[in-house]
Amino acid sequence: MNGIVATRDLHFRYNGVEILSDITFNLEKGEFLGIVGPNGSGKTTLVRIILGLLKPTSGSVELFGTDTASFTEWQTIGYLPQKIGTLNPHFPATVEEIVSLGLISRRETRKAAAGKDRRAIDDAMALMDITAIRNKLIGELSGGQQQRVLIARALVSGPQLLILDEPTTALDPEGREKFFATLGDLNRNRTVTIIMITHDIGTIGQYASRLLYLDKKLVFYGGFDAFCTSGEMTSYFGEHSQHIICHRHSNR
Amino acid sequence: MDLFDLFNHGFIQRALVAGSFIAVLCSTLGVFLVLRRLSLIGDGLAHVTFGSVAVGLLFQTYPFYVAVPIVMASALGIMKLIDKARLYGDAAIGIVSSMGIAGGVIIASAAGGFNVDLFSYLFGNILAINPTEVWIAAALSVCLVIVIFFYYHELMAITFDEESAKASGIKVARINRVLVLLTALTVVLAMKVVGIMLISALLIIPPVTAIQFSRGFKATIVISCAAGVICVIAGIMISYALDLPAGATIVTANFVLFISAFIFARLCSKDRP
């Protein structure tokens, strides 16, 4: 079975207000899903429900074919939340210590895991180009460097599903390009399934294989062929933006 | 007077041993509490301890036995308020803390006779610590070391970023409960060392001293413990030599060490390229 994420009739209400309604979609192994939508459309809420951080009011979510309530294989999921600005600048941990936190959910004895973990930490730091700053405290880094550390933490366990909530906001253009190249490599060559919330619609056209447009309900979910011919999407994005996304997708 | 004579006294030996264990407890737990912006939980629980001591005195029971369950329940109450009532940590601590003091004052006023006893708990007396309390301090320290050994990475992950920790499958609520219950027991125990009024100093000052110049999370815990123990030993010796109250002297030693670390760290950072 290749189903990675499956949601059925998902509803979420908070303080009597409907935040998400009727969300049903399936994501298969190796896909790269871009979640887009206006501010307050429920993108982060949807991701938090998928991760089991919020309970849906009704409906169900399955991860790798198992309901989130009984899912235990959390080491197969890497998560980067959207809150670089809320990091405690005085947190006295080194880059290496932070990256190693991504290995917590591995269910192996510490001794057995030690050598493997060492290599995984080194690989993740090399991938995000932070090996040279491994002994620096997280609070001494720039926003972009901190973001790369957190991405390395999400990648270190070798996840099969990577969930990223606006991951490129603190990165400069060069860092962003490098980051997307890494994601593309993970997705194509290591068949890592990726879910990414973003406002960067140009880039999503370049890398994503599927698109989910959310506005408190699921407005669009599908591949780029359907997206590019959807009149409804033209009214949401505007003709120009839709053209850019489709153009980037066809040239990737 | 030979300062080293003091080590021959049984009450000083008990004070040094129990004080060192309690310093390790406070300094270690303090690192997690300070970094999670829950520094004042010690203060809040100490105020509840005040109310609990009043209850103990009212019923003529050893206050320690009354304080332990009440303070542990209050610690869980604070976590519940943060979680369910959508309050920030400081507001939840403020509610429980003020209720602790109010309860203590009402009971003391209604009973009308044990103000002097209550006053002795406000400022502590580490030199009056009994052998049972030394053993309790040692046992609690061992429990803490076991918890830290098995849950070090989980505690660090929750302290750094609770949401990501939850998404990693860590049972955050369970670990938080263990952390606050250990804090509650430590606060009740520390009441004898520095008194209810000064307990939060033992939880806050050693960790912030360590944060001034530590270069990693493990190092922060180790330095914090070292700072806490050094200040308890120095505080007891100075208070004995100068005939000063031990609790206040221990807190002052902590403050002096913090200021020294602060100045040292600023000077070192100026020297860096």
Whole-prediction pTM: 0.85
Sheet holding A32-36, edge to edge: A77-80, A161-165, A193-197, A32-36, A210-214, A218-223
Report the pLDDT value the prediction gives residue B107, as an integer from 0 to 100. Answer: 87
Distance CA A222, CA B243 (A): 79
Which residue type occupies A153? R
Residues of chain A with pLDDT under 50: 109
> Cβ(B155)–Cβ(B180) under 8 Å?
no
- Residues forming beta bridges with residue A217, ordered by sequence position: A21
> Which pair of tokens denotes residue A187?
């997705």
Distance from CA of A218 to the nearest CA of B (A): 24
Report the pLDDT value the prediction gives residue A237, as an integer from 0 to 100. Answer: 73
**Interval B191-202 mean pLDDT:** 83
Distance from CA of A41 to the nearest CA of B (A): 20
Query: Is the CB of B175 inside 8 Å of chain A's CB atoms?
Result: no
pLDDT category of residue B113 using cuts at 50, 70 and 90:
low
Higher-pLDDT residue of B127, B250 = B250
Longest alpha-carbon distance in chain B: 64
- pLDDT at residue B1 tops 70: no
Report the pLDDT value the prediction gives residue A179, as an integer from 0 to 100. Answer: 82
Q: What is the pLDDT of residues B219-234, one digit of tens each?
A: 999 999 999 999 999 9
Residues of B in contact with A77 (CB under 8 A): 167
- pLDDT at residue B192 tops 90: no
Specify the residue for token string 């993108």.
Answer: A43
Q: Which residues contact A126 (CB under 8 A, 6 or more apart)?
A: none
Report the pLDDT value the prediction gives residue B48, as an integer from 0 to 100. Answer: 93
Query: Is the CB of B208 inside 8 Å of chain A's CB atoms?
Result: no
Torsion, Cα B210 B151 B155 B211, to 10 degrees, reads 10
Least Cα distance to B24 among B217, B239, B232 occurs for: B232
Distance CA B45, CA B71 (A): 6
Residue of A nearest to B172 (CA): A53
Distance CA B40, CA B78 (A): 11
Task: Count the helices and strands in chain A (H runs, E runs).
Answer: 9, 10
Q: What ipTM was reported for this prediction?
A: 0.82
Specify the residue for token string 């413990």.
Answer: B225
Rounded to the nearest 5°, which phi and psi values hold at B74? Answer: -65, -35
> Cβ(B111)–Cβ(B58) under 8 Å?
yes
Report the pLDDT value the prediction gives residue B24, as an integer from 0 to 100. Answer: 93
Kindly report the CA angle at B217 between B214 and B219, in degrees rounded to 5? 50
Report the pLDDT value the prediction gives residue B115, as an integer from 0 to 100. Answer: 64
Q: What is the pLDDT of residues B129-145, one digit of tens each?
A: 888 888 888 888 888 88
Q: Residue A237 in 3-state DSSP? A: helix
- pLDDT at residue B76 tops 90: yes
Residue of A nearest to B171 (CA): A105
Report the pLDDT value the prediction gives residue B72, as an integer from 0 to 100. Answer: 94
Q: Which residues contact B90 (CB under 8 A, 6 or more apart)?
A: B37, B40
- pLDDT at residue B75 tops 90: yes
> Which pair of tokens denotes residue A34?
């871009």
Report the pLDDT value the prediction gives residue A82, as an integer from 0 to 100. Answer: 81
Rounded to the nearest 5°, which phi and psi values hold at A22? Answer: 55, 50
Query: Is the CB of A64 inside 8 Å of chain B's CB atoms?
Result: no
Distance CA B231, CA B225 (A): 10
Question: What is the pLDDT of chain B when averaged over all its residues?
Answer: 87
Distance CA B34, CA A90 (A): 11
Domains in chain B with CATH codes:
3-265 (1.10.3470.10)
> Cβ(A27)–Cβ(A210) under 8 Å?
yes
- pLDDT at residue B99 tops 60: yes
Distance CA B267, CA B273 (A): 12
Least Cα distance to B254 among B225, B222, B216, B218 occurs for: B225
Least Cα distance to A237 among A228, A247, A249, A250 occurs for: A228
Report the pLDDT value the prediction gives residue A75, as an integer from 0 to 100. Answer: 86
pLDDT category of residue B121 using cuts at 50, 70 and 90:
confident
Query: Is the CB of B163 inside 8 Å of chain A's CB atoms?
Result: yes
Report the pLDDT value the prediction gives residue A33, as an integer from 0 to 100. Answer: 94
Contact A92 B156 (CB under 8 A): no
Higher-pLDDT residue of A11, B269 = A11
Q: What is the pLDDT of residues B9-49, one digit of tens each?
A: 888 888 899 999 999 999 999 999 999 888 888 889 999 99
pLDDT category of residue B235 using cuts at 50, 70 and 90:
very high
Tell me the CA distances in angstroms from B223 to B156, B216, B220, B229, B250, one per residue in order.
16, 10, 5, 10, 17
Contact A101 B166 (CB under 8 A): no
Which residue type occupies A241? S
Specify the residue for token string 């370049």.
Answer: A206
Please report how many Cα atoms fall inside a 13 Å half-sphere around the Cα of residue B153, on the Cβ side: 17
Contact B168 A135 (CB under 8 A): no
Residue of B nearest to A96 (CA): B216
Percent of chain B exceeding pLDDT 70 equals: 95
- pLDDT at residue B269 tops 60: yes
Cα four-point dihedral sign A89, A94, A97, A102: positive
Distance CA B202, CA B255 (A): 10
Q: What is the pLDDT of residues B206-215, one digit of tens each?
A: 999 999 988 8
Report the pLDDT value the prediction gives residue B270, as an integer from 0 to 100. Answer: 65
Report the pLDDT value the prediction gives residue A174, as an integer from 0 to 100. Answer: 80
Query: Is the CB of A188 inside 8 Å of chain B's CB atoms?
Result: no
- pLDDT at residue B244 tops 60: yes
